[in-house]
Structure 1
Amino acid sequence: KLGRAVILLGSVHEDKVVLVAGVTKDLTGQLKAGDLMKQAAAAVGGKGGGRPDMAQGGGVDAGALDSALALAVPFVEQGI
């Protein structure tokens, strides 16, 4: 069973970036998956959003995927 967690997953499919973010419900008062997704999707030239506990997004800049995924660390550090 998953404890407290913030997850950001990304992949490239047919030259497009696909992103999924999740935040466990006990952390959604401090961190929102939709907010993380907006930042990550913007980093890959796209858009995203969703609920406080789960969000989806994507973009067109596959070369920026690593940078987008790295945004999760400062996002969590600032939110906690």
Structure 2
Amino acid sequence: ALEAQRRKLEKDLAEARRQLAMGGGGAAASGPEEVGGVQLLARVMDGVGGKDLRPIAEEFKKQVPDGVIALIGTADGKAAVTVAVTGPAAQRVSAVDLAKAAVLALGGQGAGGRPDFAQGGAPDAERAEDGLAAVRALLAG
């Protein structure tokens, strides 16, 4: 019974974090920016682990039907990177290349996935903004 209760509480906490990340105030609520002719929605999400980033990226795809979603979650001093490419932008941009650039900027080894969705991890959550800067730089050319 305790194990079932723990799983339910973990699920509820993950959902609460996702809701907070989606509707957080200030910069988190701003829309996508244009970088190198591509719409980019880039966010650092404190307290959000790697496995929680994918459903958040799926939600953000509704806001960015043609562009890039780059999310960096920071938890326990580590960083997780998720990059999704939507619509026609997928013909011009690789999620794997963008995720690798972000992970390398964070001090990690690399990232992997599909051309439209990639993930990776890094040991240094303090450099999360550097990861997003690397994505912007790659998109800008």
Paired residue secondary structure (2:93): coil
Letter in 1 for 2:97: D
2:91 partner SS = coil
Unaligned runs of 5+ in 2: 1-61
The equivalent residue for 2:68 is: 6
Partner of 1:35: 97
Is it true that 1:77 corresponds to 2:140 in the alignment?
yes
RMSD of aligned Cα (Å): 1.3
| Aligned residues with identical type, % of pairs | 36
For residues 105 and 134 of structure 2, what CA distance do their matches in structure 1 show?
Answer: 9
How many residues get paired? 78
- Counterpart CA distance in 2 for 1:60 and 1:76 is 24
- Kindly indicate whether the alpha-carbon contact (under 8 Å) linking 2:75 and 2:125 is maintained by their aligned counterparts in 1: no
Give the aligned partner of residue 11 of structure 2. none
Look at both structures and tell me which one has the larger radius of gyration over its CA atoms: 2
Q: TM-score scaled to structure 2, two decimals?
A: 0.51
Report the equivalent of 2:16: none
Which residue of structure 1 aligns with residue 121 of structure 2? 58
Looking at both structures, which has the greater relative contact order when contacts are Cα pairs under 8 Å and sequence separation is at least 6?
1
